[in-house]
Amino acid sequence: MLAGNWKMYKNPAETAAFFQAFAPVVADQEQAQIVICPPFVNIPEAVAAAKNTRIGIGGQDLFWLKEGAYTGEVSAPMLQAAGCQWVIVGHSERRQYFAETDETVLKKTQAALESALTPIVCVGEGLEDRESGATENVLRAQFAGGIAGLSREQFARITIAYEPIWAIGTGKTATPAMAAAAHGFLRSLVGGQFGEAAAADIRILYGGSVKPDNIKGLMAQPDIDGALVGGASLDPASFAAIVNY
Footprint on this chain of ligand 13P (rule: CB under 6 A): 5, 91, 163, 168-169, 207-210, 228-232
Question: Of the two residues 47 and 205, which places its CB atom closer to ligand 13P in the complex?
Answer: 205
Catalytic residues: 91, 163
Task: Round to the nearest angstrom and report the end-to-end CA distance of the chain.
Answer: 12
Q: What are phi and psi of 118, to 5 degrees?
A: -90, 115
Kindly state the smallest distance separating residue 92's Cβ from ligand 13P, in Å.
7
Taking the complex as a whole, the smallest distance from the CB of residue 188 to ligand 13P amounts, in Å, to: 23
Cβ 53 vs Cβ 25: under 8 Å? no
91 vs 140 by CB, closer to ligand 13P: 91
Q: Which long-range contacts (CB under 8 A, 24 or more apart) does 25-30 make?
A: 25/236, 25/237, 25/240, 25/244, 26/53, 26/54, 26/55, 26/240, 26/243, 26/244, 27/53, 27/54, 29/54, 29/243, 29/244, 30/54
Minimal CB distance residue for ligand 13P: 230
For the CB of residue 81, give the shortest distance to ligand 13P in the complex, in Å.
24
Of 61 and 194, CB closest to ligand 13P: 61
